[in-house]
């Protein structure tokens, strides 16, 4: 790429970031996540000369690589939020809520795909995309309305933490499927098993010994922890890619492995956590959403919106039905069920990442890709608005119902 073309690409990205910044300001005023502005801007510019230029063959490689970096950082940050000890300490009620509010939408999403004639494996994967909750969408609103220390806040945050396991399984399943789609099944499975075992062994050694040793090699400074984090992130991302697991599995694993080190470093860990979040959601994550938006075919959506609507309803109705099953057994009230059900319906990063992975691997067509992205984006709009309406109507009753001390209030982008 010539210097002129590099300059042209930088100016094009500057325009995308400028439009995103302006639109994000409007969305945030309506309590809609600002990161969606990148998606909406890219969807719009796809149909103007700027979009055509960004989708050209010459710009495809650098933009695709930057989008991959965005996926790595987003999932690394998600992994940093997973506390295995905290998850084991969740109460039985939250475990039951998690089971119900993931099983029902999974079955409904899978049923939609099977009825429309898709295969069992794809239906299974798409059904799983109906289940995760994007805590980053709802936790700031919980905090704004002083609901963190209520039963509603406890259930939403607790269930969100537990369904992180489903997110990891979903991304791992898709990565393995992509890795095996073009190879010999027998030899591929053998190589995969060996690669997975080696990856697990290295992860265990890193968790028990290597990362702790490296963390004490340099003084406790933010820049040193960032350097160590980048080494672990890229190492596990590359190793998991080479072992057919896919680099995104390595990114989540890297986050999980680094979590104890972040905890032991106190203020330094918190500073670096904020830095990684800022880079993920203020730069690299936006580049990923630009890439997703540029590949989303809105014309195809308007020609056939039924699939997007059905996928959205499968997730939304499934979440509500699953939560409401807790009412007859007197675990929550009807008002709490409505509020919790809508709060848990937010789906964003994980669903879009899975859709992009499947689309890049040519396992789904543009129509299904656009439907998945549209369904996820729509929940990120409807959930903040619907949740705000319910809290404004029932806020006092919800605030007077206090639960046990809630899990640590750190949101992620699942």
Answer yes or no: is pLDDT of 409 > 50: no
pLDDT of 406 > 80? The answer is no
Pick 275 or 146 by higher pLDDT: 275
| pLDDT for the residue 227 | 94
8 A C-beta contact, residue 316 and residue 308? no
**Distance from C-alpha of 145 to C-alpha of 395, rounded to nearest angstrom:** 8
- Tokens representing residue 115 in the block: 């009825």
Q: Which two tokens stand for residue 45?
A: 């510019």
The structure tokens listed for 367 are 């129509």
What tens digit of pLDDT does each residue of 239-266 get?
887 776 667 778 888 998 999 999 899 8
The pLDDT of 392-408, averaged and rounded, is 63
| Bigger pLDDT: 206 vs 194 | 206
If DSSP states are collapsed to H, E and C, what string results for the chain? CCHHHHHHHHHHHHHHHHHHHHHHHHHHHCCCCCCHHHHHHHHHHCCCHHHHHHCCHHHHHHHHHHHHHHHHHHHHHHHHCCCHHHHHCCCHHHHHHHHHHHHHHHHHHHHHHHHCCCCHHHHHHHHHHCCCCCHHHHHHHHHHCCCCCEHHHHHHHHHHHHCHHHHHHHHHHHHHHHHHCCCCHHHHHHHHHHHHHHHHHHHHHHHHHHHHHHHCCCCCCHHHHHHHHHHHHHHHHHHHHHCCCCHHHHHHHHHHHHHHHHHHCCHHHHHHHHHHHHHHHHHHHHHHHHHHHHHCCHHHHHHCCHHHHHHHHHHHHHHHHHHHCCCCCCCCCHHHHHHHHHHCCCCCHHHHHHHHHHHHCCCCCHHHHHHHHHHHHHHHHHHHHHHHHHHHHHHHHHHCCECCCCCCCCCCCC
Q: Within 13 Å of residue 25, how many CA atoms lie on the same side as its CB?
A: 5
Model confidence at 17, pLDDT cuts 50, 70, 90, reads very high
pLDDT of residue 411: 45
* pLDDT score recorded for residue 89: 56
The model's pLDDT over 273-317, given as tens digits with 9 standing for 90+, comes to 999 988 988 898 889 888 878 877 667 667 668 899 999 999 999
Residue range 374-380: average pLDDT?
82
- Interatomic CA distance for residues 5 and 348, integer angstroms: 33
Tell me the average pLDDT across 20-36.
83
Q: What is the pLDDT of residues 171-190, one digit of tens each?
A: 777 777 776 654 544 445 56
What domains are defined for the chain? 3-399 (1.20.1530.20)
Give the mean model confidence (pLDDT) for residues 361-387: 84
Q: The tokens of 406 are what? A: 């809630």
Q: Which of 104, 5, 15, 9 is nearest to 322 (CA)?
A: 104
pLDDT, position 271: 92
- Phi and psi at 245, nearest 5°, equal -80, -25
> Among 42-56, 115-129, 177-191, 229-243, whose mean pLDDT is lowest?
177-191
> If you average pLDDT over every residue of the chain, what do you get?
82
279 and 73 Cβ atoms separated by less than 8 Å: yes
Q: Which two tokens stand for residue 357?
A: 């992975």
What is the reported pLDDT for 83? 66
Residue of higher predicted confidence among 386 and 173: 386
**Of 71, 79, 134, 21, the residue nearest 292 (C-alpha):** 71
Which residues contact residue 197 at a Cβ distance below 8 angstroms, ignoring those fewer than 6 apart? none
Quote the CA–CA distance of 222 and 313 in Å, as a whole number: 44
pLDDT level of residue 13 (50, 70, 90 thresholds):
very high
* pLDDT of amino acid 11: 92
d(CA 208, CA 241): 23
Give how far Cα 86 sits from Cα of 161, 168, 336, 402, Å.
9, 17, 24, 20
Residue 317 is predicted with a pLDDT of 95
pLDDT at 143 over 80: no
| pLDDT in the model for residue 136 | 63
Please state the rounded mean pLDDT for residues 363-376. 87
Tokens, residue 13: 């990205």
**More confident: 297 or 138:** 138
Considering the entire predicted model, what is its pTM?
Answer: 0.68
């Amino acid at each position: 790429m010539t210097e002129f073309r590099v300059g042209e690409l930088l100016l094009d990205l500057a325009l995308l970031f400028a439009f995103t910044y302006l639109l994000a300001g409007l969305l945030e005023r309506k309590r809609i996540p600002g990161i969606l502005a990148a998606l909406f801007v890219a969807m719009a510019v796809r149909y103007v000369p700027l979009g055509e230029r960004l989708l050209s063959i010459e710009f495809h490689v650098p933009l695709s690589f930057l989008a991959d970096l965005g996926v790595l950082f987003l999932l690394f940050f998600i992994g940093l939020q997973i506390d295995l000890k905290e998850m084991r300490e969740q109460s039985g009620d939250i475990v039951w809520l998690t089971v119900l509010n993931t099983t029902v939408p999974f079955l409904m999403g899978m049923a939609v795909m099977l009825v429309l004639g898709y295969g069992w494996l794809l239906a299974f994967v798409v059904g799983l995309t109906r289940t995760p909750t994007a805590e980053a969408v709802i936790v700031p609103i919980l905090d704004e309305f002083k609901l963190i220390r209520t039963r509603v806040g406890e259930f939403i945050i607790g269930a969100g933490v537990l369904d992180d396991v489903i997110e990891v399984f979903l991304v791992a399943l898709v990565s393995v499927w992509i890795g095996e789609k073009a190879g010999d099944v027998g030899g591929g499975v053998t190589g995969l098993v060996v690669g997975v075992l080696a990856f697990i062994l290295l992860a265990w050694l890193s968790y028990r010994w290597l990362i702790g040793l490296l963390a004490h090699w340099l003084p406790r400074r933010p820049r040193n922890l960032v350097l160590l984090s980048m080494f672990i992130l890229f190492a596990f991302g590359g190793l998991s890619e080479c072992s057919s697991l896919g680099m995104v599995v390595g990114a989540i694993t890297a986050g999980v492995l680094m979590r104890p080190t972040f905890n032991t470093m106190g203020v330094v860990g918190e500073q670096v956590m904020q830095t990684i979040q800022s880079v993920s959601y203020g730069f690299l994550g936006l580049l990923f959403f630009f890439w997703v938006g540029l590949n989303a075919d809105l014309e195809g959506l308007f020609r056939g919106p039924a699939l997007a609507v059905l996928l959205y309803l499968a997730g939304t109705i499934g979440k509500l039905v699953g939560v409401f099953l807790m009412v007859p057994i007197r675990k929550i009230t009807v008002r709490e069920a409505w509020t919790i059900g809508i709060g848990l319906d937010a789906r964003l990063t994980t669903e879009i990442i899975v859709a992009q992975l499947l689309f890049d691997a040519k396992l789904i067509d543009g129509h299904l890709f656009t439907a998945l992205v549209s369904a996820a984006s729509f929940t990120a709009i409807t959930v903040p608005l619907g949740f705000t309406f319910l809290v404004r109507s029932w806020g006092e009753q919800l605030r007077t119902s206090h639960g046990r001390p809630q899990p640590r209030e750190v949101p992620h982008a699942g």
